[in-house]
């Protein structure tokens, strides 16, 4: 199978005078753009009064874009309910942890708990899909926009509590079963009716962790069902078109794998620079990567979202220049917009779509760049995107991404569990996964992400950075796997109901490796421990006391086991990072029989079919080590902030 590559752009006809649409559409085609995404915030213009639709402007916009030859992706407009809807149905509004209403005036002002909102959403989606579903140039749909943006998954109002109670009733049937599951005997928390249950916030002391985990599960389920509800309407009225959603990076508040079940493929919005500020990098790293981003920041998410559905993905929004929402918003270093675009293709993207065609010099996002400046002149990022368009014209197709040899098991619930009771405040799931990803990619390998319970067949090495709750399905997949598998600290440390397993951590994983975690220590920054054996160097943040009859593969300063293995199954009871982690990751790759290429920290490789891509995030040129590569893009020495692509003659 071959796909893409193609470019897209986000466009808002409602922001511009109609006289400009045809000119913009023609310019997009001339630019080399194939897809244009429109509509996702325009409910107020589509339905200015309750039940009174005004499709005339959208009809004309679609006609104009279609006549220019563009393929159209329609966004359902449910991320921004109009004022009349809020006034008529204030029950749709979300509430913050203090119970205050989060009101009208920006976007995402709804809670998925509200049945009213489901009804209203179904109504607008149905009308929109009935009107445009069979338009020949409407080729796909984006549902809503960035579920969870601005912390909008969890909500704490009356609708939410009612919805949570309904969900609990379905799950536990009786209050007694709920009391048992949540261990409500502790601190006299027992309830005699589901109506006694509130949102697990606003308590004097810490609220029950079991309740907090279920609260998150409830919202995760609710949003997945809400997305599936919209998808079903679109599939009925717009057959043959794709359905996707634009996910966010570094965001875990719902189970994306579950939501992706109703999508044809996942899309995500790539803002590499903004995310360098929000990820817990050190100040030195933030400064180092301020204008390029970290070389694993986008790549990790490309690999994560490629694994959600369909072995493909889109970047629905690509940062084209400075954004407006970081603490600081530098302009990308010259070359980076092009590099990020090609990096997405290298990792399997079918389309890269830039946000947005033209900077809108008013309202909230006036400081957010686009491919063009507010005065219509092309921006520096726009020039780079145009170069990408010219380059991809030479590739009529890119090969499909093949399965990698290395997989990382990624679990959204793990992130919730660690947030609920961190035990050590810097035991951060994003950082843990990022560290493993970086260590492995520094060795030049490609990586897939898989959900717990998914088949691991075909992988030589599987890393489970941590998996606190090991479901029966996950355990079965681990048992069926015959490659090398490593479980990180805190794996198997919680039951489904957020309790310590009766047989001690790692709970069910003891069926794979005979060990018990007797005690755990979290360590403040500055406290470290030495390690020797198969893991050698230093660790910090977290160390476990392991009881086992197996010979340890690595020990700490006191000679106590830190890494235990039984054949090809390993358990690591400590947090390691930096060089220590890199050496260990490398040794696992070598043991798994994989070719290792030691890369400098600013160089990354990625294969797609028979193509090899190399990306230089650094300030020095990098000579490609292979002799005489058959170059498709670039030169044998890759300049800073540039890339090369060649055909792998060995494959």
With CB under 6 A as the contact rule, the residue among 340, 355, 437, 449 that binds ligand GLA is: 355
317 binds ligand GLA (CB under 6 A): yes
CB of 31 to ligand GLA, least distance (A): 20
CB of 268 to ligand GLA, least distance (A): 9
> CA–CA separation, 391 vs 306, rounded Å?
23
Q: Which stretch binds ligand GLA (CB under 6 A): 55-63, 290-298, 317-325, 547-555?
A: 317-325
146 binds ligand GLA (CB under 6 A): yes
305 binds ligand GLA (CB under 6 A): no
Binding footprint of ligand GLA, residue count (CB under 6 A): 10
Which of 24/146 has CB closer to ligand GLA? 146
Binders of ligand GLA among 106-145, rule CB under 6 A?
Answer: 145
With CB under 6 A as the contact rule, the residue among 323, 333, 440, 484 that binds ligand GLA is: 323
Q: What percent of the residues of the chain are helix, what percent strand, and what percent coil, each to the nearest 5?
A: 35, 20, 45
CB of 319 to ligand GLA, least distance (A): 7
With CB under 6 A as the contact rule, the residue among 71, 120, 214, 269 that binds ligand GLA is: 269
Contact 487, 571 (CB under 8 A): yes
> CA–CA separation, 630 vs 649, rounded Å?
8
Catalytic site residues? 146, 317
318 binds ligand GLA (CB under 6 A): no
The pair of three-digit structure tokens given for residue 222, joined into one six-digit string? 């609710």
> CA–CA separation, 586 vs 439, rounded Å?
8
CA distances from 121 to 61, 149, 232 (A): 22, 18, 12
Phi and psi for 339 in degrees, rounded to 5? -60, -50
> CA–CA separation, 313 vs 640, rounded Å?
27
CA distances from 333 to 291, 323, 614, 640 (A): 5, 14, 18, 10
Contact 70, 47 (CB under 8 A): no
CB of 574 to ligand GLA, least distance (A): 37
> CA–CA separation, 77 vs 126, rounded Å?
12
CB of 220 to ligand GLA, least distance (A): 20
CB of 282 to ligand GLA, least distance (A): 25
Which of 266/576 has CB closer to ligand GLA? 266
Burial environment of residue 650 by CB neighbours within 10 A (0 to 12, 13 to 18, 19 or more): exposed
With CB under 6 A as the contact rule, the residue among 131, 217, 302, 368 that binds ligand GLA is: 368
Closest Cα to residue 405, out of 454, 445, 347, 453?
445
> CA–CA separation, 286 vs 278, rounded Å?
10
Which of 150/619 has CB closer to ligand GLA? 150
With CB under 6 A as the contact rule, the residue among 271, 281, 437, 575 that binds ligand GLA is: 271
Binders of ligand GLA among 467-506, rule CB under 6 A?
Answer: none
CB of 306 to ligand GLA, least distance (A): 19
Closest Cα to residue 356, out of 19, 17, 18, 24?
24
| Residues near ligand GLA, by CB under 6 A | 145-146, 269, 271, 317, 323, 325, 355, 365, 368
């Amino acid at each position: 199978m071959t796909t893409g590559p193609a470019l897209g752009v986000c466009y808002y006809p409602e922001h511009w005078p109609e006289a400009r649409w045809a000119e913009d559409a023609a310019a997009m085609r001339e630019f080399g753009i194939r897809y244009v995404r429109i509509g996702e915030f325009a409910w107020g213009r589509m339905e200015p009064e309750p039940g009174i639709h005004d499709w005339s402007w959208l009809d004309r916009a679609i006609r104009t874009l279609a006549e220019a030859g563009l393929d159209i992706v329609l966004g359902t407009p449910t991320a921004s309910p109009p004022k009349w809807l809020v006034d008529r149905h204030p029950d749709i509004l979300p509430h913050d942890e203090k119970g205050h209403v989060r009101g009208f005036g920006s976007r995402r002002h709804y809670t998925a708990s509200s049945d009213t909102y489901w009804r209203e959403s179904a109504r607008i989606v149905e009308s929109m899909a009935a009107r445009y579903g069979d338009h020949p140039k409407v080729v796909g749909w984006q549902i809503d926009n960035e579920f969870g943006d601005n912390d909008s998954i969890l909500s704490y109002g009356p609708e939410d509590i009612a919805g949570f109670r309904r969900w609990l009733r379905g799950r536990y049937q009786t209050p007694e079963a709920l009391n048992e599951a949540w261990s409500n005997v502790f601190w006299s928390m027992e309830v005699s009716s589901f109506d006694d249950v509130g949102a697990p916030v606003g308590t004097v002391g810490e609220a029950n962790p079991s309740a907090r985990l279920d609260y998150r599960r409830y919202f995760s389920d609710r949003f997945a069902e809400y997305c599936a509800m919209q998808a079903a309407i679109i599939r009925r009225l717009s057959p043959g078109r794709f359905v996707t959603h634009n996910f966010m990076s570094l965001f875990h508040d719902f189970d994306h794998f579950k939501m992706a079940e109703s999508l044809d493929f996942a899309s995500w919005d790539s803002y590499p620079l903004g995310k360098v500020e929000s990820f817990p990098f050190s100040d030195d790293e933030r400064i180092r990567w301020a204008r390029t981003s970290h070389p694993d920041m986008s790549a990790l998410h490309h690999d994560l979202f490629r694994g959600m559905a369909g072995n493909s993905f889109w970047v629905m929004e690509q940062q084209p220049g400075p954004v407006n929402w970081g603490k600081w918003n530098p302009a990308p270093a010259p070359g980076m917009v092009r590099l990020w675009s090609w990096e997405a293709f290298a990792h399997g993207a079918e389309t890269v779509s830039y946000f947005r065609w033209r900077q809108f010099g008013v309202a909230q996002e006036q400081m957010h760049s686009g491919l063009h400046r507010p005065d219509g002149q092309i921006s520096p990022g726009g020039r780079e995107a145009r170069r990408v368009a010219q380059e991809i014209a030479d590739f009529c197709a890119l090969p499909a991404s093949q399965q990698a040899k290395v997989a990382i098991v990624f679990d959204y619930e793990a992130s919730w569990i660690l947030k609920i009771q961190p035990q050590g405040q810097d035991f951060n799931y994003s950082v843990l996964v990022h560290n493993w990803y970086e260590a492995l990619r520094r060795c030049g390998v490609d990586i897939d992400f898989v959900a717990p319970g998914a088949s691991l067949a075909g992988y030589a090495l599987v890393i489970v950075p941590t998996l606190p709750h090991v479901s029966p399905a996950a355990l079965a997949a681990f048992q069926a796997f015959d490659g090398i598998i490593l479980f990180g600290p805190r794996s198997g440390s919680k039951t489904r109901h957020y309790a310590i397993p009766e047989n001690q951590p790692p709970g069910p994983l003891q069926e794979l490796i005979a060990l018990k975690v007797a005690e755990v220590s979290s360590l403040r920054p500055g406290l470290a421990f030495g390690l020797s054996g198969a893991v050698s160097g230093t660790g910090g943040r977290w160390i476990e006391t392991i009881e086992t009859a197996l010979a340890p593969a690595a020990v700490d300063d006191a000679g106590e086991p830190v890494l235990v293995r039984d054949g090809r199954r390993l358990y690591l009871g400590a947090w390691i990072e930096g060089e220590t982690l890199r050496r260990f990751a490398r040794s696992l790759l070598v043991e798994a029989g994989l070719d290792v290429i030691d890369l400098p920290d600013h160089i990354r490789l990625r294969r797609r079919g028979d193509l090899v891509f190399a990306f230089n995030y650094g300030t020095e040129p990098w000579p490609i080590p292979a002799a005489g590569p058959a170059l498709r893009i670039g030169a044998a020495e890759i300049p800073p902030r540039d890339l090369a692509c060649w055909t792998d003659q060995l494959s």
